């Protein structure tokens, strides 16, 4: 384990570094540390009990979201796929507990995705496609106390993730654009075809009255 990691570091091969067992362990440990930080400094007048709830709900949501992210209904060749609402379980963390907890939980989710099957191309690409893209889902917390806040959160979270993938696509993946395609247009189309589609589907799902009521009931228990 240590030898493989040292060899990967020496060679500078990012894919080997993040694909090694030790590299994966390091990423997961960092992710768990960030999650503890997120709930430890969430700042709530009701004290530690609420922080424990935030940790519990966040951990469960991240786990469910990660499992669902592995169920690919439609996958694209350079990464990205439509999943059965995996983004929703990260978005609701921000909706339940606010932007700070939501963003950091999204970063943890992104790090897990990176450690357990991520596509590695360049350092900035890693940041854009994993911690920043999934961290953006936590921006749903901006609308935590607003009418139709969950739907608004889905829109802003999906858009934030799309922007990160879009920039990464233009800078790092433009070479795979079909002949005659501008890299900007290609990246826009490519990333909307999965992030946008899943975002729209997720917004439609939570627009169903019984689903919206269920999430609001869970939120009341989570922050009680």
Containing 75, the helix (H) or strand (E) segment is strand 74-75
With 60 as the cut, is the pLDDT of residue 218 above it?
Answer: yes
Task: Return d(Cα 18, Cα 118) in angstroms, integer.
Answer: 8
Give the pLDDT band (50/70/90) at residue 7. low
Please name which of 93, 84, 79, 106 lies closest in space to residue 172, comparing C-alpha atoms: 79
Task: Return d(Cα 162, Cα 207) in angstroms, integer.
Answer: 21
- Cβ 91 vs Cβ 140: under 8 Å: yes
Give 40-98 pLDDT, tens digit per residue: 654 455 544 447 788 889 999 999 999 999 999 998 887 889 999 999 999 999 999 99
Give buried/exposed letters for 137-171 (b at 16+ CB in 10 A, else e): bbbbbbbbeeeebbbbbbbbbbebbbbbbbbbbbe
Q: pTM of this prediction?
A: 0.88
Which residue segments constitute the domains of the chain, with CATH numbers given? Answer: 2-223 (1.10.1760.20)
Task: Return d(Cα 57, Cα 89) in angstroms, integer.
Answer: 10
CA 168 vs CA 25, 141, 165: distances in Å: 25, 25, 5
């Amino acid at each position: 384990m240590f030898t493989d990691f040292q060899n990967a570091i020496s060679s500078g091969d990012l894919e080997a570094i993040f694909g090694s067992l030790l590299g994966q362990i390091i990423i997961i440990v960092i992710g768990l540390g960030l999650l503890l930080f997120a709930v430890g400094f969430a700042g709530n007048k009701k004290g530690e009990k609420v922080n424990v709830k935030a940790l519990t709900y966040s951990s469960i949501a991240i786990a469910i979201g990660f499992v669902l992210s592995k169920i690919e209904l439609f996958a694209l060749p350079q990464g990205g796929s439509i999943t059965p609402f995996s983004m929703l379980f990260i978005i609701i963390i921000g909706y339940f507990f606010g932007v700070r907890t939501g963003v950091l939980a999204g970063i943890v989710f992104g790090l897990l995705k990176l450690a357990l099957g991520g596509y590695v191309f360049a350092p900035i690409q890693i940041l854009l496609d994993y911690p920043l893209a999934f961290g953006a889902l936590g921006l749903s917390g901006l609308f935590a106390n607003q009418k139709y806040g969950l739907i608004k959160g889905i829109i802003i979270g999906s858009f934030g993730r799309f922007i990160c993938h879009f920039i990464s696509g233009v800078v790092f993946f433009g070479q795979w654009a079909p002949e005659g395609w501008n890299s900007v247009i290609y990246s826009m189309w490519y990333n909307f075809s999965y992030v946008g589609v899943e975002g729209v589907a997720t917004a439609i799902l939570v627009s169903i009255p019984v689903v919206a009521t269920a999430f609001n009931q869970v939120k009341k228990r989570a922050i009680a």
